[in-house]
Amino acid sequence: MRPMKPKFARVRNPARSSVFPGGSEILRNPQLNKGTAFTDMERDALGIRGLVPPRVHTIEEQCRRSLENFARKPDDLERYIYMTALQDRNETLFYKLVADNLEEMLPIIYTPTVGQACMEYGHILRRSRGLFISARDRGRIAEVLANWPHSNIRIVVVTDGERILGLGDLGANGMGIPVGKASLYTACGGLDPSACLPVTLDVGTENEILLEDELYLGIRRHRVRGDAYLELFEEFVDAIREIFPHAVLQCEDFATENAFGLLERYRDRLCLFNDDIQGTAAVVLAGLYSAVRITGGAFKDQRILFLGAGEAGIGAGELIASALLDEELSEDAARERCWFVDSKGLIVRSRSNLPERKRRFAHDYREISDFPTAVAALKPTAIIGASGQPGMFSQSVLETMAEINARPIIFALSNPTSKSECTAEEAYRHTGGTAVFASGSPFEPVRIGENTYVTGQGNNVYVFPGVGLGAVTASARHITDSMFLAAARAVASQVSDAELETGQIFPSLPRIHEVSLSVAVATAEIAYRDGLTAEERPDDLERQIRESMYRPEYRAYA
């Protein structure tokens, strides 16, 4: 009788110098599983011969099979579910498929489809991803963090689910956002997936529909507020510093007051940034730099009118003002280039009870209650939508912008697509094809008559993966606004003349890895220049970062 094989074969991986489980266990581990790509030698060494079909496939062949299955799905939500299942089954294949098909995959694994996925998260859940920390875990958050199976965490993406995209309070269902962002860190920024941790702080929800849904995933209570909320977040920050002391903490989709308050409270205490405030700001600024290359004006001569004075709008205004200081404008003159309309109308000094972040952009001007009147009165060169209010860039607004400017700059940045201030077709049609347009969610190219217009997507994916990679590379103690200013310039520098000729003001997505590399180098350079790290700058910083970037390739086990 032949001796039975042990349940687990001990096989040393030369790439990681660690011991891997064998048998069916390796097939259930998405970080180790290769499916039909295991070689004959590996199948014998791992004790999995017969547990996978006999034909050995390359990862390229597996991608073709996955694309066929992806295409068979009837709608985008089903495609999202399929991609999530693939990530749970074979992580390397998932990232290979995404990296090789970015333009098709990004709208599925992130905006706009992730918005629908979050709304239905409790109904489509197959396998839990990320780490849920609830208000019930107060006093033992460090213990919960220590349950995460990977210890070398360098990026933590956290939300409390209160302002998911333009969809509002989705509570624990907001986990789709940090899960998606963590995936983009790997797919677009080259961070090892095992170094990225998505976290949802479940402090309740005000969404009554979710509270009444028996399949809702979170605790069924109204939100923790005030001191209790701040104390919970304080414990979370302390636990991050204890369990993952080298991690960058990225905040996502917090309500406006918490977003600004937490950023100011913690930005100088650890390596933290808010993507909705600072990442979006860098994308807006990068888009404006590129747009001005098309319009032919000077950046310092732009007059920018924002619709929306929340995280995205005010954050962008602050970074634009910083950029204008480098154009030798005074601080007052720089801020005078940025105007805001919020839910109560134009932000002017005569308005009472303005929070300080808005008052910094309040100008001496008459009160105007509506956006179209503000456009006609102020004659901006650019309008930027960050309101979450669909249709606010109406036909009359767009026509007015075209009357004022030979090439009006129109950014309709609200997400998901259903919340966009206008569509790409509306922007081009109502400006006679003269608009320099960008949106938050993707739109297909627009054909009007004999002309085809290619839209730009102002997606934060151009910025945050590179900023995180650069901060990790330099072991930065803090992430500063100077880093986001450098990131914006790096993104804009990657836009080619050929892309500008088609109307694109952001680099083509297939080049995202080079964009992230450029942003990472710019971010790390700031850390070294400003003394934000104890590390010495390497002689060839770009080469070091490039060689460190994750590539979705199978490792040899035997």
Active site residues: 110, 181
Distances (CA, A) of 326 to 79, 229, 290, 482, 521: 45, 39, 17, 11, 21
The C-alpha atoms of residue 159 and residue 157 are separated, in whole angstroms, by: 7
Q: Which residues contact 114 (CB under 8 A, 6 or more apart)?
A: 80, 165, 176, 177, 180, 416
Q: Are 172 and 204 in contact (CB under 8 A)?
A: no
CA distances from 344 to 309, 336, 374 (A): 10, 20, 12
Q: Which of 306, 191, 293 is nearest to 549 (CA)?
A: 191
Question: Whose CA is closest to 471, among 420, 415, 416, 526?
Answer: 526
Which H or E run includes 217? none
Q: How wide is the angle at C-alpha 157 spanned by C-alphas 237 and 204, nearest 5°? A: 70
Beta bridge partners of residue 306, listed in sequence order:
340, 384
Alpha-carbon Rg of the chain, whole angstroms?
24
Determine the Cα–Cα distance for residues 346 and 186; give it in Å rounded to an integer: 41
Tokens 């095992």 -> residue: 194
H helix runs in 419-510, sequence order: 424-429, 464-474, 481-493, 497-501
| Cβ partners under 8 Å of residue 270, min gap 6 | 237, 240, 241, 249, 477, 478
Cβ 413 vs Cβ 438: under 8 Å: yes
User: What CA–CA distance (Å, rounded) separates 89 from 101?
Assistant: 19
For residue 449, the tally of other CB atoms under 10 A from its CB is 6
Q: Which residues contact 227 (CB under 8 A, 6 or more apart)?
A: none
Can you tell me the distance from the alpha carbon of 5 to that of 12, in angstroms, rounded to the nearest whole number? 17
- Residue written as tokens 């205004």? 317
277, 360, 258: which is closest to 315 by C-alpha?
A: 277
